[in-house]
């Protein structure tokens, strides 16, 4: 028993070993297959989790990632042929948006993970450290945040680590130093801090190191010199300081060395380029390096980019660069190179061998002497040449004109003299030309107009004479033009002002230009700054300047402008700076100037302005305005120390005593001559009646009362189609006319109705125009009751009045459709044409005095006809004096449409009709009456539009226009307008309406200008349609 018990464990062990061996013999292949299947399933699930984390896939890149296809065939996936396990996940440049799923760590065979140039966000998962086979990790140009994962230290096979172009912070983890197989590290363009770690020197296989565009500080560590295979080193745009380790210049394998935009200093070793035989890119710009450029640079024959600009401390002559035949970029700008000697520019002749040169910059140094003629032997393909800010003198060599490939040429701030060479006209590709601040003379050559690609031209601060060549108007791409500080004379060419492309600057200041500022200045709709100061310009400041809606800076000071400050300046909602000082401007400061919220400075000093100074906006800060030299200004804030404006009530109180005396004297005089006045009045009344009545009526063909009574079915209510201030209008048929007519029957019981009839006859008897209602006949008789009866018979307008179309909901009208923009534009032009005829083409000037939508009738073809001349005025000019045939009707017009000056007793005028026309236009474009209940507490239709003009038109336009705006270009809420032509049309029409409805009669547009501009708008609209 004892021996058995001792042997039993041994026997048991042998038995188990036998069973295990037998089991492996039978079942091992199945087990391996099972493990492999589990691995594949893991990869499949990991990829699905990766897809789940993607929130946006604009190109449907992952559309194939579904169960119908084996995952090894999914887009961007590569598997090993033997194990069918994922070895590469590459999805770069697909604009994928989402986070990087930590489940990617389950792809345990993964060697390459490349999701660069997408929109991944969040932190880089620490789980990536489980990818033990990972060799290439490329996460460039995404939005990853947080720190670089320390667990990457477990990826011992990692060769490429590209994390540049993200938002990573913190420092480079010390664990990275253990990745001995790393060949390339790129962590540029992040927010990494602290110093460049010295353990970088332990990565002996490293060939590429990019640490640029971070916040690294301190010195470049000496240990980098241990990287004997380094070809690319980039540490640009950091906060590095100190000197470059001299041993760095001994790494002969270096191809690219960039350290720009740091705080590095020191001088260059004389023989440094002997030990950098392969260097192609040497960029040391924007630091504080000093001393001369090493002469050994002549041996750097492979050099392609040499950037030493913006160090400010490099001195001496530029050494020979004759062997640098592959040089494409040379920047020596902003240093102290040269000695203002004739030898300074000798190095340029050696650049004639550099056929690949595309940028040459020697700007802002101490180079002197003449520009050598050999400059013309540079490559004709050279596009950019910078030579400004030196002391180069003499004439500009004509040979420079050979460089026909130039796109940019800057020669500013030198001592060049003479004329611009004529062969500069060959620069057909030229976009930027700067010759400012030299001593150039002669005229500005007309061939400038041949440079059709030019968008930036600086000729200021020279001694150019003569006039501005109109040919500059051919430079249709010009965005900035500066001709200031010369000796130019003559007028401003309208061709220059027609350059719609000007968007940055037009500066013609400090010359001797004369004449007026052309109204074409309104064409500069995109310009930000306009300066014509210190010339001899005169005349009014054109109101069209208010059309330059992008203007921010206006300088008109020190000229001889007169007239008033145009109210249209208040349309410039982006205006920041306005100087109108030292002119001869009069009148008041437009009240609307205080509503320009961004206006920071206003100078109107030394003019002849008067009236009250506003108190809001820029006028609320005395340091932002200058009003000195205008003795008649008053009011404003207390800090301006202006006299108070006179109060009308107080003034009247002082005059009360004198008026009382005058009244007493007048009463006595009045009693004595009262009978005489009454006699004269009665005589004039009889004469007026005779002159107004019979002759005028007799000139019109008349119809009998009976015929009208029959034709209108006894003037029945069912035939009434409207009513006016002095009667009703009926639809009818009369024997003498073939067509349906409109019969206007006057209510003679209403005061003034009889004279309304006479005035309308006078107004219509001799006028004929397609847009004026045509009077067919009249009736002056008695009705069946023996009462006096007067009526006018007009053409019948089938489509009723404009008011019925604009406001069908309030008039119970039901037109077949609403008016689209095309209809409204045509009607506006029709009404303007009628006004042009009345104001400019009739033998006697006719003022309508009551223009409104109900007085605009539409015929079968939707042509507009102006009607109802019941309160019109006929004005004839005899011997230079204005003689007005006035009706005795109190001429007030209609509330809302009548101009404000009529309410204050002013004479009627064409300006009054223009005001009514402006309000009519505003009503047509906004769909709101001037008497809308919205307009309370001093608000009115004009101000309502001004507040939103021109940037928020959606808030004011008639909603019926928006869906029909030809898929137009204003956007807000659910409505939008896409085509710029339509938006321009709205802006132009509203601008005309606002200018016509200005409070000041003198500043309103006249009908000639309105008609011309409307015709232009119609052409543009039809072309765009």
3-state secondary structure of 354: coil
Query: Which tens digit of pLDDT belongs to each residue from 844-888?
Result: 788 888 899 988 999 888 999 998 765 555 554 333 334 444 443
Tell me the pLDDT band of 31, cut-offs 50, 70 and 90: very low
At 493, the pLDDT band (50, 70, 90 cuts) reads very high
Which distant-in-sequence residues (6+ apart) come within 8 Å of 714 by Cβ?
Answer: none
Q: Which helix (H) or strand (E) holds 538?
A: strand 536-540
Q: Is 659 exposed, middle or buried (0-12, 13-18, 19+ CB in 10 A)?
A: exposed
pLDDT bucket at 949, cuts 50 / 70 / 90: confident
Q: Rounded distance, CA 40 to CA 19, Å?
A: 31
Residue 993 CB contacts under 8 Å (≥ 6 apart), including other chains: 918, 919, 921, 922, 925, 945
Q: 903 or 255: which carries more pLDDT confidence?
A: 255
- The reported pLDDT for the residue numbered 700 is 55
Q: Which domains does the chain have, with CATH numbers?
A: 487-640 (3.80.10.10), 683-796 (3.30.200.20), 798-1025 (1.10.510.10)
Can you name the residues that pair with 801 across neighbouring β-strands?
857
Strands 775-782 and 788-795 turn out to be: antiparallel
Contacts of 436 (CB under 8 A, 6+ apart): 412, 413, 458, 459, 460, 461, 462, 482
Residue 829: its pLDDT value, please?
A: 95
Poorest-confidence range of 416-420, 498-502, 718-722, 756-760? Answer: 756-760
Tell me whether residue 219 is annotated as binding: no
Contact 191, 167 (CB under 8 A): yes
pLDDT at 650 exceeding the cut of 70: no
pTM: 0.70
Average pLDDT over residues 649-670: 60
pLDDT band at 757 (very low <50, low <70, confident <90, very high): low
> pLDDT at position 472, please?
95
**Residue 30, token pair as written in the block:** 């199945």
State residue 884 phi and psi, 5-degree precision. Answer: -105, 120
| Phi, psi of 910, rounded to the nearest 5 degrees | -60, -30
**In 10 A of CB 676, how many CB atoms?**
9
b/e code 1007-1017 from CB counts within 10 Å (16+ = b): bebbbebbeeb
Residues 6+ apart with CB under 8 A from 115: 89, 90, 91, 92, 96, 100, 138, 139, 142
- Tokens 């709709």 correspond to 525
Q: What are phi and psi of 488, to 5 degrees?
A: -75, 145
pLDDT value of residue 28: 44
Kindly tell me the burial class for residue 133, based on how many C-beta atoms sit within 10 Å of its own C-beta (0-12, 13-18, 19 or more). Answer: middle
| Angstrom distances, CA of residue 844 to CA of 768, 770, 869, 883 | 13, 18, 15, 10
End-to-end CA gap in the chain: 116
CA dihedral 648, 649, 655, 661 (to 10 degrees): 130
DSSP secondary structure letter of residue 660 = H
pLDDT of residue 792 exceeding 90, the answer is no
pLDDT digits (tens, 9 = 90+) for 615-642: 999 999 999 999 999 999 999 998 888 9
| Count of alpha carbons within 13 angstroms of residue 235, beta-carbon side | 22
Give the H or E element holding residue 20. helix 2-52
At residue 892 the predicted structure's pLDDT band, cuts being 50, 70 and 90, is low
């249209």: which residue's tokens? 568
Give the pLDDT band of residue 7 (cuts 50, 70, 90). Answer: very low
Which residues are within 8 A (CB) of 740 and not within 5 positions of it... i.e. 6 or more apart? 731, 732, 733, 796
Active site residue 850: yes
pLDDT-derived band at 1019, boundaries 50, 70, 90:
confident
The DSSP bridge pattern shows strands 263-267 and 288-291 to be parallel
Cα–Cα distance, 517 to 532 (Å, whole number): 9
For range 417-421, the mean pLDDT = 95
Task: Phi first, then psi: give them for residue 818, nearest 5 degrees.
Answer: -85, 165
pLDDT at 587: 93
Work out whether the CA dihedral 840, 841, 843, 846 comes out positive or negative. Answer: negative
Position 659 pLDDT exceeds 70? no
> Could you tell me whether strands 608-613 and 584-587 are parallel, antiparallel, or unpaired per DSSP bridges?
parallel
532 CB-near residues (< 8 Å, 6+ apart): 492, 508, 509, 513, 517, 555, 556, 559
SS3 call for 314: strand
505 beta partners: 480, 529
Query: What per-residue confidence (pLDDT) applies to 876?
Result: 45
Percentages helix, strand, coil for the chain, rounded to the nearest 5? 35, 20, 45
Residue 148 has, within 13 A of its CA and on its CB side, a CA count of 25
pLDDT of residue 671: 72
Q: Distances from the Cα of 407 to the Cαs of 386, 426, 454, 743, 956, in angstroms?
A: 11, 12, 9, 74, 46
3 state DSSP class of 33: helix
Q: Which of 25-39, 316-330, 759-773 has the lowest mean pLDDT?
A: 25-39
Per-residue model confidence (pLDDT) at position 676: 65
Q: Among the options 307, 344, 830, 850, which is catalytic?
A: 850
315-361 pLDDT, tens digit per residue, is 999 999 989 999 999 999 999 999 999 999 999 998 998 989 999 99
Q: Is the pLDDT of residue 475 over 80?
A: yes
Q: What pLDDT does 961 receive?
A: 83
Q: In which band, very low, low, confident or very high, does the pLDDT at 4 lie, cut at 50, 70 and 90? A: very low
Instruction: Write down the pLDDT at residue 100.
Output: 95
The 3-state DSSP class for residue 536 equals strand
Q: How far apart are the C-alpha atoms of 456 and 464, rounded to whole Å?
A: 18
The listed range with the strongest mean pLDDT (193-207, 782-796, 980-994) is: 193-207
pLDDT at 139 over 90: yes
Give the Cα separation of 339 and 536 in Å (integer).
Answer: 43
Strand runs labelled E in 260-401: 263-267, 281-283, 288-291, 305-307, 313-316, 329-331, 336-337, 359-361, 384-386, 393-395
């Amino acid at each position: 028993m004892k021996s058995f018990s001792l042997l039993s464990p041994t026997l048991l062990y042998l038995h188990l070993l036998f069973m295990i061996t037998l089991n492996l013999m039978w079942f091992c292949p199945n087990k391996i297959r099972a493990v492999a299947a589990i691995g594949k399933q893991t990869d499949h699930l990991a990829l699905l989790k990766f897809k789940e984390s993607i929130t946006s896939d604009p190109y449907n890149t992952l559309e194939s990632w579904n169960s119908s296809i084996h995952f090894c065939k999914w887009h961007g996936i590569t598997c090993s042929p033997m194990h069918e396990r994922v070895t590469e996940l590459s999805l770069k440049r697909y604009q994928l948006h989402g986070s990087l799923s930590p489940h990617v760590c389950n792809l345990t065979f993964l060697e390459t993970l490349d999701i660069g140039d997408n929109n991944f966000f969040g932190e880089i998962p620490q789980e990536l450290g489980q990818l033990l086979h990972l060799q290439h990790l490329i996460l460039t140009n995404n939005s990853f945040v947080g720190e670089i994962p320390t667990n990457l230290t477990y990826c011992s096979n990692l060769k490429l680590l590209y994390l540049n172009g993200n938002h990573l912070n913190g420092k480079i983890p010390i664990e990275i130093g253990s990745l001995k197989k790393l060949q390339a590290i790129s962590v540029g363009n992040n927010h990494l801090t602290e110093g460049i770690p010295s353990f970088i020197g332990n990565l002996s296989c490293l060939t590429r190191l990019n640490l640029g565009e971070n916040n690294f500080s301190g010195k470049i560590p000496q240990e980098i010199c241990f990287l004997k295979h380094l070809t690319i080193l980039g540490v640009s745009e950091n906060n590095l300081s100190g000197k470059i380790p001299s041993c760095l210049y001994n790494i002969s394998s270096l191809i690219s060395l960039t350290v720009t935009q740091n705080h590095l200093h020191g001088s260059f070793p004389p023989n440094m380029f002997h030990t950098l035989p392969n260097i192609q890119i040497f960029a040391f710009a924007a630091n504080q390096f000093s001393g001369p450029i090493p002469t050994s640079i002549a041996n750097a024959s492979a050099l392609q980019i040499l950037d030493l600009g913006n160090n400010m401390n490099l001195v001496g002559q530029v050494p020979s660069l004759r062997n640098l035949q592959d040089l494409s970029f040379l920047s020596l700008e902003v240093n102290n190179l040269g000695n203002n000697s004739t030898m300074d520019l000798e190095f340029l002749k050696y650049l004639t061998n550099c056929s690949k040169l595309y940028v040459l910059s020697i700007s802002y140094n101490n180079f002197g002497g003449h520009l050598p003629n050999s400059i013309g032997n540079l490559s004709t393909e050279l596009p950019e040449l910078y030579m400004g800010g030196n002391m180069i003198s003499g004439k500009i060599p004509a040979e420079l004109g050979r460089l026909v490939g130039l796109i940019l040429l800057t020669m500013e701030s030198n001592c060049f003299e003479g004329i611009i060479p004529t062969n500069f006209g060959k620069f057909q590709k030229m976009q930027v030309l700067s010759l400012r601040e030299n001593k150039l003379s002669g005229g500005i050559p007309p061939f400038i107009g041949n440079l059709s690609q030019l968008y930036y031209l600086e000729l200021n601060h020279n001694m150019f004479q003569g006039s501005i060549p109109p040919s500059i108007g051919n430079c249709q791409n010009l965005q900035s033009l500066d001709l200031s500080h010369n000796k130019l004379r003559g007028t401003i060419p309208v061709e220059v002002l027609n350059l719609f492309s000007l968007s940055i600057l037009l500066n013609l200041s400090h010359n001797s230009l004369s004449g007026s500022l052309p109204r074409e200045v309104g064409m500069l709709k995109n310009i930000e700054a306009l300066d014509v100061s210190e010339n001899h310009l005169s005349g009014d400041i054109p109101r069209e300047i208010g059309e330059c809606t992008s203007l921010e800076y206006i300088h008109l000071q020190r000229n001889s402008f007169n007239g008033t400050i145009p109210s249209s300046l208040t349309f410039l909602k982006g205006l920041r700076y306005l100087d109108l000082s030292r002119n001869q401007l009069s009148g008041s400061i437009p009240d609307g100037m205080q509503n320009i919220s961004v206006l920071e400075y206003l100078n109107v000093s030394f003019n002849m302005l008067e009236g009250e100074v506003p108190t809001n906006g820029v006028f609320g800060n005395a340091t932002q305005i200058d009003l000195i030299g205008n003795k008649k200004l008053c009011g404003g804030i207390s800090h301006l120390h202006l006299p108070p404006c006179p109060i009308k009530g107080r003034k009247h109180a002082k005059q009360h005593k004198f008026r009382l005396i005058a009244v007493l004297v007048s009463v006595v005089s009045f009693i004595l001559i009262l009978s005489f006045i009454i006699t004269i009045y009665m005589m004039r009344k009889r004469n007026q009646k005779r002159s107004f009545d019979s002759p005028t009526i007799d000139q019109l063909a008349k119809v009998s009362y009976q015929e009208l009574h029959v034709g209108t079915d006894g003037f029945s209510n069912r035939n009434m189609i409207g009513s006016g201030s002095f009667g009703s209008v009926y639809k009818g048929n009369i024997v003498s006319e073939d067509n349906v007519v409109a019969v206007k029957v006057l209510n003679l019981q209403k005061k003034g109705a009889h004279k309304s009839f006479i005035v309308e006859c006078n107004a219509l008897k001799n006028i004929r125009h397609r847009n004026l209602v045509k009077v067919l006949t009249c009736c002056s008789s008695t009705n069946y009751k023996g009462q006096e009866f007067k009526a006018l018979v007009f053409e019948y307008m089938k489509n009723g009045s404009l008011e019925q179309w604009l406001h069908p909901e309030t008039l119970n009208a039901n037109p077949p459709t609403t008016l689209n923009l095309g209809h409204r534009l045509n009607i506006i032009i029709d009404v303007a044409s009628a006004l042009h005829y009345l104001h400019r083409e009739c033998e006697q000037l006719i003022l309508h005095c009551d223009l409104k939508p109900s007085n605009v009738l539409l015929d079968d073809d939707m042509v507009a006809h102006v009607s109802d001349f019941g309160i019109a005025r006929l004005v004839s000019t005899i011997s230079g004096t204005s003689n007005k045939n006035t009706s005795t009707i109190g001429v007030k017009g209609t509330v809302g449409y009548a101009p404000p000056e009529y309410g204050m007793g002013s004479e009627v005028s064409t300006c009054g009709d223009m005001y009514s026309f402006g309000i009519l236009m505003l009503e047509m474009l906004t769909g709101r009456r001037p008497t809308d209940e919205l307009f309370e507490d001093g608000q009115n239709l004009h101000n309502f539009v001004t507040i939103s003009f021109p940037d928020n038109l959606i808030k004011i336009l008639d909603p019926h226009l928006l869906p029909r705006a030809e898929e137009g270009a204003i956007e807000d809420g659910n409505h939008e307008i896409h085509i710029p032509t339509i938006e321009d049309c709205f802006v132009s029409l509203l601008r005309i309406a606002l200018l016509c409805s200005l409070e000041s009669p003198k500043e309103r547009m006249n009908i000639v200008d309105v008609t011309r501009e409307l015709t232009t708008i119609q052409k543009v609209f039809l072309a765009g349609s």
